[in-house]
Amino acid sequence: MISLHTSPLDQPGTGDAGGMNVYVIELSRRLAAQGIAVDVFTRATSSSLPQVVEAADGVLVRHVAAGPFEGLAKGELPGQLCTFAREVLRTEAMQPLGHYDAVHSHYWLSGQVGALARDRWNVPLVHSMHTMAKVKNEALADGDTPEPLSRVIGEEQVVEAADLLVANTDTEARQLVDLYGASPDAVEVIHPGVDLSVFAPRGRAEARRELGLPEDAAVLLFAGRIQPLKAPDVLLRAVGVLLEQDPTLRHRLVVPVVGGPSGSGLEHPTALADLADDLGIADVVRFVPPVTQAELAVWSSAATAVAVPSYNESFGLVAVEAQATGTPVVAAAVGGLTTVVRDGVSGLLVDTHDPRDWAATLRRLVDDPALVERLGRGAVAHAQDFSWERTAERTLEAYERAGSRMHAVMAS
């Protein structure tokens, strides 16, 4: 595995750590459980990090020194690709011949390194995009920064080099074909999973007691990185509309925002808190630093609904995790969220980012406990379709298929 720009050991919810970090570590663990030894190469961001960390039985995380340990923005990482790749190749050269059987790269920066490793080691390259510049640029949030042309070109090169591309959903598969010219035969749809032993129904009342939340509160939760792409401002503006329409809601409305600034959100790290002040809702909003997966499961369980108002999501892991706890999700009808959330069954989809439309949808759940319970039951049932064990089995098959494709091309 190559995860250059963010380590699977990092805490999701801040910086560049998010669903991809969870994806890499959970998939690696499940592959290891099937007898597949996994090395994850990632860039070292501190001189105090050990060169190798055993993240689980059969899973080694290798910290590669490439550029300054701290203070290097993601946009500056392309300048370190050669150094990173050299260190990856050097590590392999110290192993017996044919040590690695496949390379699975995550995000386009890793794909650039993976393409070199593929050619040097004569093993198949499987690539997961996680996000795509062309897709992001088509659905930019107000004030967000477009992805540069250098990334677009880099992604096109990775798509061309990979023996197989793993897409999270049918929507992402179509985007790879339509926007990047990928061969449909080279794209495999494999849904990410959820740890159903961590994200499981535990009871809303119990979770609220654990977090010190009122049992009769209407809790509307946002969990994730605080950046324009994730659109937490849409939730806050919708809450402002709700309180404007019905001031009596103020005494029982609680809006936890769990996560930290990330991406372009780092330019104005207090922007969301400032917005809460401007909207006059600071008294109902609670900012919570990034939490562990186990703690996130408690927050999700405690919520009346989890809001995922993103402008784009290749999948939307937070939405699956919330549903697995029995909490309905209100999500933007974009990207992978239309697969992850079954509208009217496990949650509600909103076709716009207009705060009034979001307020109207959230109000349905705030006012109707029976609807919350019905959607909650549907959410648990729907989440059972997503497991990391199934993801690992499908991915292992994809590695085999990628090898067959590579050898067929070489023979032709």
- Is 391 assigned a ligand-binding role in the annotation? no
- Is 169 assigned a ligand-binding role in the annotation? no
- Is 87 assigned a ligand-binding role in the annotation? no
Paired tokens of 229: 């792409």
Any idea what the Cα angle at residue 43 is, between residues 125 and 394, rounded to 5°? Answer: 35
The closest of 307, 312, 308 to 169, measured between CA atoms, is: 312
- Is 18 assigned a ligand-binding role in the annotation? yes
- Is 303 assigned a ligand-binding role in the annotation? yes
- Is 361 assigned a ligand-binding role in the annotation? no
- Is 20 assigned a ligand-binding role in the annotation? yes
Q: Which residues pair with 164 in a beta bridge?
A: 126
- Is 174 assigned a ligand-binding role in the annotation? no
- Is 327 assigned a ligand-binding role in the annotation? yes
- Is 225 assigned a ligand-binding role in the annotation? yes
Any idea what the Cα angle at residue 223 is, between residues 197 and 291, rounded to 5°? Answer: 60
What DSSP letter does each residue of 51-103 carry, written as one string?
SEEEEETTEEEEEE--S-SSS--GGGGGGGHHHHHHHHHHHHHTSPTT--S-E
Do residues 332 and 350 make contact, with C-beta atoms less than 8 angstroms apart? yes
Distance CA 384, CA 377 (A): 11
- Is 291 assigned a ligand-binding role in the annotation? yes
Paired tokens of 206: 């119990």
- Is 67 assigned a ligand-binding role in the annotation? no
- Is 74 assigned a ligand-binding role in the annotation? yes
Could you tell me whether strands 347-350 and 59-64 are parallel, antiparallel, or unpaired per DSSP bridges?
A: unpaired
Residue given tokens 């659109």 in the structure block: 231
- Is 376 assigned a ligand-binding role in the annotation? no
Distance CA 314, CA 320 (A): 13
**Binding site for UDP-N-acetyl-alpha-D-glucosamine: what residues are annotated?**
11-12, 19, 225, 230, 291, 313, 321
**Binding site for 1D-myo-inositol 3-phosphate: what residues are annotated?**
5, 16-21, 74, 107, 131, 151
**Binding site: what residues are annotated?**
5, 11-12, 16-21, 74, 107, 131, 151, 225, 230, 291, 303, 313, 321, 327
**Binding site for Mg(2+): what residues are annotated?**
303, 327
